[in-house]
């Protein structure tokens, strides 16, 4: 989305929300620049649909977060599994764990793979007794699954430049802590 299209989006919002329409020139300019910076990586038509969806759903002006969230949901509709469905997949992997290959591990859903980390972890859990797996491991999985899903959704909402900046900062901090 370019700057002109950003102005069109904000004009659409101003036509529907008085609080946006009554901003002074400086406020409007700041809004245009901020919205462009935070939404410029998205396709104009997707943003336009996300804005229209927000207008329909709420009597209050949408935030950048609302628009990004709607845009991401339009581009990638949520097809994630429920926590129990994911646990069932994880449990089957644990049951097969001693014989699991790297290729089988790689065919698992991304969230389940993220919980285990690697095939070695699945093999280690496969050696535990079934009572521990069905109580402790299941509880850990269900708690962690919600966190994994939430983090994944938050990452999808970030513009690519911001995501890259955060990754660079994280890696710099990691290198710094290793050097101490």
pTM of the model: 0.57
- Extract the tokens encoding 17: 């929300």
* Rounded distance between C-alpha atoms, residue 10 and residue 18, angstroms: 12
What is the spatial distance between Cα 109 and Cα 115, in angstroms, rounded to a whole number? 10
Domains with residue ranges and CATH for the chain? 3-75 (1.10.8), 83-179 (no CATH)
Query: How far apart (Å, rounded) are the C-alpha atoms in residues 160 and 125?
Result: 36
Average pLDDT of the residues in 93-110: 92
* pLDDT for 35: 96
User: In this model, does residue 106 exceed pLDDT 90?
Assistant: yes
């Amino acid at each position: 989305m370019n700057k002109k299209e950003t102005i069109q989006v904000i004009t659409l919002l101003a036509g529907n929300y008085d609080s946006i329409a009554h901003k002074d020139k400086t406020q409007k300019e700041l809004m245009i620049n901020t919205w462009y910076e935070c939404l410029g990586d998205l396709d104009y038509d997707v943003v336009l649909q996300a804005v229209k969806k927000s207008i329909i759903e709420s009597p209050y002006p949408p935030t950048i977060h609302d628009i990004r969230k709607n845009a991401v949901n339009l581009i990638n509709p949520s097809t994630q599994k429920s926590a129990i469905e994911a646990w069932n997949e994880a449990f089957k992997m644990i049951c097969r764990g001693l014989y699991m290959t790297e290729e089988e591990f790689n065919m698992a859903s991304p969230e389940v793979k993220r919980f285990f980390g690697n095939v070695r972890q699945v093999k280690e859990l496969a050696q535990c007794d079934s009572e521990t797996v069905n109580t402790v491991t299941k509880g850990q999985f269900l708690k962690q699954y919600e966190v994994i899903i939430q983090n994944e959704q938050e990452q999808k909402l970030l513009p690519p430049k911001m995501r890259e900046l955060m990754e660079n900062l994280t890696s710099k901090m990691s290198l710094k802590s290793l050097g101490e």
